[in-house]
Structure 1
Amino acid sequence: MMNATLQDIFIDEGGVQSEQYMSNWDLYDLWGNRMPEAMAQGIVEGNSTMAAGMNVTNYYYNATQMSYAEGLGMYDTRLMGTRVGAVQAMGTVNAMVEGHGVKAYRMRTTSGGGMRRRDEL
């Protein structure tokens, strides 16, 4: 189990405490919609038959169809990841991380609190 307080996460240059630790945040697992291994292997190997049978648009975001700003505004899970929880103001982010593993989260402020919506990675 890994954990970090919002106070640990939001320290600005020079060690100054940032005000973001006083906001509520939603947590999104950036790898929550990860491409299945079989699809990735088919693409890497150039196996067009395998890739053709799978809908890659479920995993790839096409920014020519919709801008990143629009996609984020619509909570497109290909950009946001899968919502896995929330952390309250001055709270702690907890994550199960396998040995030698990595977790990557997008944090987005919840509405309210007087702070404009903000994303952090």
Structure 2
Amino acid sequence: MKNNILSIAIALAFVALLILLTDPFMAWMPPAGLAAVLLAVAVLMCAWIGFIIYERAGDEREEAHRMQAGRAAYLSGIAVLTVALVVQGLAHDIDPWISGALAAMVLVKLAARLYSERYR
């Protein structure tokens, strides 16, 4: 239970940091130094969350839960990026990072599946 509370707190802190970084409502204009620090902290936190903190599985059941969570995250990422691509496509202003992120997600999933089938 304690581990779940820590994971939830870290995820909420990360979302709050991203909201501060993107400033969706243009509520504040941070100085350049503060914006750079926020960006650096967000990048480091993203790498730490994505690659280190959630990658410990003890038994087969925990491993299955991690795989299901990864699949849900992948599908939600694809859905959000696809909606963003459609909305920006209708506005005739497609951000190349959205297309690149979609392509990277699909290609890495395909490569991982092919690798696991070949070397299983």
Query: Relative contact order (C-alpha < 8 Å, sep 6+): which is higher?
Result: 1
TM class by shorter chain equals under 0.3
**TM value normalised by structure 2:** 0.25
**TM value normalised by structure 1:** 0.25
Q: Which has the higher helix share?
A: 2
Q: Which has the higher strand share?
A: 1
